[in-house]
Structure 1
Amino acid sequence: MLDMSGCIDMAVATAERAAEELREGIVTGSLAPGTPLREVTLAAELGVSRNTLREALRLLATEGLVSQRLHKGAVVNTMSTDRIRDIYLVRRTIELRAVEECGSATPAALAAIEGAVRATERAERAGDWREVGTSSLRFHCAIVATLGSPMLDQMFRGVTAQQRLAFAVVADERRIQQPWVSLDREICDLIHAGYRAAAGRALRDYLEASERMVLGLVGEAATGVATDLAKEA
C-alpha cells in the first residue's frame, strides 16, 4: 500500500515555504497593502503548483496578512486601527518578556541583535528608508529570538509582516522610520551591557510612542482620503 504520509508532509512543507517567501516580501515592503496575489503568476515565480499556492495563501490569511475574495482572488491586507492596536499589544507582551529574559541569551543571539542594528544604521546612512524599516523589524525579531522558542519566532514573523503593512499607510518612509534608528541602538546597547530593566523601560516607551505615531498617521491618511472624495463629489 502506498504510504501517503510522506507526500502529505512534503506538500505541507512546500506550502509553508511558499508562505514564508510571500511573508518575507511583505516584511521587506515589496508586497504592499492592496497588492493582488495572482495565482498563475505567483505559482510560477515560487515554483509551486496552484493548489500549493492556495494553501500558502490560506496560511497567510489566518495570520491576517491576506484577504481572499470570492471570484476575485487574494490581495495583501490593509491594517485597520483595531488591528494596529492588537499588533502593538502582542509586541509589548512578547518583546518585553524577551528583554526580561535576555540575561540567558546566547552570544549568537546577542550578536544577531547587534548585527540588525548595524544594518539599520548602514541603511540610514545610505538613505534607504525601506531597508531601514526592514532591518529595524529584524532587530525586534532578534530580541524575540533570545527566548529560544521556534514557535514564538514563527508567530512573531507574522506580526512583523503586519507591522510593515501598518507602516505602508505613509508614502514618505523616512518620516515613519527615522525616529527609531537611534532608539534601536540605545536598546541594543542596554541589552549588551546587561541593563535589562532600563532596556525594558526604553522598549516600552518606544513601542507606545510608535503606536501613537502609526495610529496618528493612519488617521491623517483617512482624513486625506475623505477630503479628496468630498472634493470629487
Structure 2
Amino acid sequence: MATVQGIRPLDPVVQQSTPSLIASRVREAIAEGQIPPGSQLHESALAAQLGVSRGPLREGLQRLTQEGLLVSHRNRGLFLIELSPENIRDMYLAREGIERTAAAHVHRLDPDPVRSELLVAVEQMRRAAGSGDVVAVSDADVRFHEAMVAGARSPRLQRAHETVLTETRMCIRALEPTYADPRTRVEEHRSIAESFVPGGADHTDELIVAHMADALERLIAQQH
C-alpha cells in the first residue's frame, strides 16, 4: 500500500451498508410526505417495495426509531410519529433554538453573503408560488433554512440542524394547505432574508421568532 510521508496508511473506503441505505430511503420518503404522519409501517410491504430482506430492513428502521422518527407500540407495530400538538411544539422548540443561534452568529460574522444566498431561495419560492407549484415552494423553503444555518459556519450547529431536518420537512409539507395565498409565505421569508444587514441582529431574531410562532399556530390549528 502506497503511503505519504508522515501519514499513516488509511483503511479502504467501506461502501454504505444496506441498513444505512434503507434508513436513508425511508427517511426521504417520510420527508417527502410519501408516508403520512401516524402511519403504520408494515415490514413485509416495505421489504417488497425496497427489494430487501427483513433483517436489513429491521436494522434500518431501528435507526429511524433511535432518531425519534418512528415509534414502536407493543403488540401493534411500528409507526411514524404523529404531528400532534405536543410533538409540533417540541419540534419547533428545537428548530427555534438552532436557527436563532445560527442567525445570531451569522450577524457576528458577515451577514451580507448569507443575505444573498437567502434571497436566491426566496426568488425560487416566488417563482414556484407564481406557477402554483406548492411542493417546489416547500423545497425552496427548506433550502432557505439550511442556508441560514450553514451561514453560521459551525459544523456542530449544522449537524444539530440535520438531526431535525426530516421533522422540519414534515412540518413544512404540512403547512402547505394553511396558506390561502403562497405569496404570504414568500414575503415572510423575504423579510427575514433582507434583515441580514450589519446591525440587524435584533430585527432578524424578532422575525425568526414571529415566523416560528406563526408556523406553530398554523400547524396546531390544523390538528383540530
Q: TM-score, normalised on structure 1?
A: 0.72
1:116 aligns with 2:146: no
State the match for 2:160 in structure 1: 155
Q: Distance in 2 between matches of 1:52 and 1:65?
A: 18
1:140 aligns with 2:153: no
State whether residues 178 and 218 of structure 2, in contact with CA within 8 Å, keep that contact through their aligned partners in structure 1.
Answer: no
Q: Which runs of 5+ in 1 are unaligned?
A: 1-5, 221-233
2:211 to 201, 206, 214: 206
State whether residues 28 and 134 of structure 1, in contact with CA within 8 Å, keep that contact through their aligned partners in structure 2.
Answer: no
**Structure (1/2) with the larger helix percentage:** 1
1:74 aligns with 2:75: no
Q: Which amino acid is 2:96 matched to?
A: R
2:191 to 180, 186, 199: 186
- % identical aligned pairs: 28
Q: Distance in 2 between matches of 1:159 and 1:122?
A: 27
**Which piece of structure 1 moves more, 184-193 or 101-110?**
101-110
1:57 aligns with 2:55: no
Q: Distance in 2 between matches of 1:47 and 1:107?
A: 47
SS at match of 1:191: coil
Q: Which amino acid is 1:117 matched to?
A: V
State the match for 2:130 in structure 1: 125
In structure 2, relative to structure 1, the CA distance for the partners of 1:27 and 1:178 (3 Å cut) is farther
Q: Distance in 2 between matches of 1:105 and 1:21?
A: 36
2:24 to 15, 20, 24: 20
Q: Deviations over 1:75-123 (max 9, x none)?
A: 3221221111111111111111111111326987665433432332222
Q: State the 1:125 CA deviation.
A: 1.4
**Which piece of structure 1 moves more, 147-156 or 136-145?**
147-156
State whether residues 11 and 52 of structure 1, in contact with CA within 8 Å, keep that contact through their aligned partners in structure 2.
Answer: no
Q: Distance in 1 between matches of 2:18 and 2:161?
A: 20
State whether residues 106 and 114 of structure 2, in contact with CA within 8 Å, keep that contact through their aligned partners in structure 1.
Answer: no
Q: Distance in 1 between matches of 2:56 and 2:183?
A: 39
State whether residues 29 and 130 of structure 1, in contact with CA within 8 Å, keep that contact through their aligned partners in structure 2.
Answer: no
Q: Which amino acid is 1:63 matched to?
A: E
Q: Which amino acid is 1:86 matched to?
A: D
State whether residues 111 and 197 of structure 2, in contact with CA within 8 Å, keep that contact through their aligned partners in structure 1.
Answer: no
Q: TM-score, normalised on structure 2?
A: 0.74
RMSD of equivalent CA atoms: 3.5
State the match for 2:170 in structure 1: 165
Q: Which runs of 5+ in 2 are unaligned?
A: 1-10
